[in-house]
């Protein structure tokens, strides 16, 4: 599963809800170009609940031979990363970057959950992680950086056309502002663009190295 020869450090990429693997590969390619080794993590976000997927991620981390692991999660993937570390605080010694993650709430998700079809589309993990047992603040030992998009174009505009600005078309910027995180950055991209943007990848790499985003 490793994308390069094994070294001391690795970045584990965690996809969000409905994220196509090929899109995550773009971010992986950009991080590898920046000098990181990357691996992909998959989980059953629809059929399995939060606790099962937290255990799955923790086991994946434990099975790694890398000396240090960083976590980079898009949308629900970032939520799962922090929910896992809240349960297994010593799981990693590296840093975490959440890209467009609804860490506090999800208005688009709540609107989708209001219908039977929408509820099935959301699956089990997101409602449990964001609605039922949301994080209130971050107290973990790991540095956590959050990148939020502010270009309002995406699926969320179909489900919830009245998202509060600024938003990335799916997640409101306010929903990403978890108290206690190390750093927060807004970029002019939409929700999917957080995975495609070279600037977002560069900022992710900078945070993983330095524990802060780069500012002019």
- From residue 2, alpha-carbon distances to 28, 39, 65 in Å are 11, 5, 11
Instruction: Tell me the mean pLDDT in the region 31-54.
Output: 93
**CATH for 9-210, among 3.40.50.1820, 3.30.70.240, 3.30.499.10, 3.40.50.300?**
3.40.50.1820
Identify the H or E element spanning 32: helix 21-33
Stated pTM of the model? 0.92
Percentage of the chain beyond pLDDT 90 is 75
Q: Which of 38-52, 123-137, 166-180 has the lowest mean pLDDT?
A: 38-52
Confidence of residue 9 (pLDDT cuts 50, 70, 90): confident
Q: What is the pLDDT of residue 80?
A: 98
DSSP summary character for residue 131: I
Q: What is the DSSP string of 199-210?
A: HHHHHHHHHHHH
Q: What is the pLDDT of residue 6?
A: 45
Q: With contact defined as beta carbons under 8 Å apart, do 178 and 85 qualify?
A: no
Neighbours of 27 (CB within 10 A): 24
Residue with more model confidence, 9 or 124 = 124
Is the predicted pLDDT of residue 126 greater than 50, yes or no?
Answer: yes
Q: Give the gyration radius of the chain's Cα atoms.
A: 16
Is the predicted pLDDT of residue 21 greater than 80, yes or no?
Answer: no
- From residue 161, alpha-carbon distances to 53, 188, 201 in Å are 31, 19, 28
């Amino acid at each position: 599963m490793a994308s390069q020869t094994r070294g001391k450090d690795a970045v584990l990429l965690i996809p969000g809800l409905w994220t196509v693997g090929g899109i995550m590969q773009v971010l992986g390619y950009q991080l590898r170009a920046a000098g990181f080794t990357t691996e992909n993590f998959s989980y059953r976000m629809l059929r399995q609940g939060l606790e099962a997927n937290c255990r799955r991620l923790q086991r994946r981390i434990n099975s790694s031979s890398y000396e240090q692991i960083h976590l980079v999660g898009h949308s629900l993937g970032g939520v799962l990363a922090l929910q896992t570390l809240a349960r297994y605080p010593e799981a990693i010694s590296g840093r975490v970057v959440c890209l467009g993650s609804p860490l506090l709430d999800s208005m688009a998700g709540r609107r989708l959950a209001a219908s039977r079809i929408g509820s099935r589309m959301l699956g089990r993990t997101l409602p449990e992680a964001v609605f039922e047992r949301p994080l209130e603040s971050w107290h973990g030992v790991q540095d956590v950086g959050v990148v939020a998009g502010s270009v309002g174009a995406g699926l969320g505009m179909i489900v919830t056309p009245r998202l509060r600005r600024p938003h990335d078309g799916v997640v409101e910027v306010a929903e990403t502002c978890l108290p206690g995180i190390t750093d927060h950055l807004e970029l002019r991209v939409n929700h999917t663009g957080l995975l495609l943007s070279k600037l977002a990848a560069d900022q992710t790499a900078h945070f993983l190295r330095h524990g802060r985003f780069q500012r002019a």
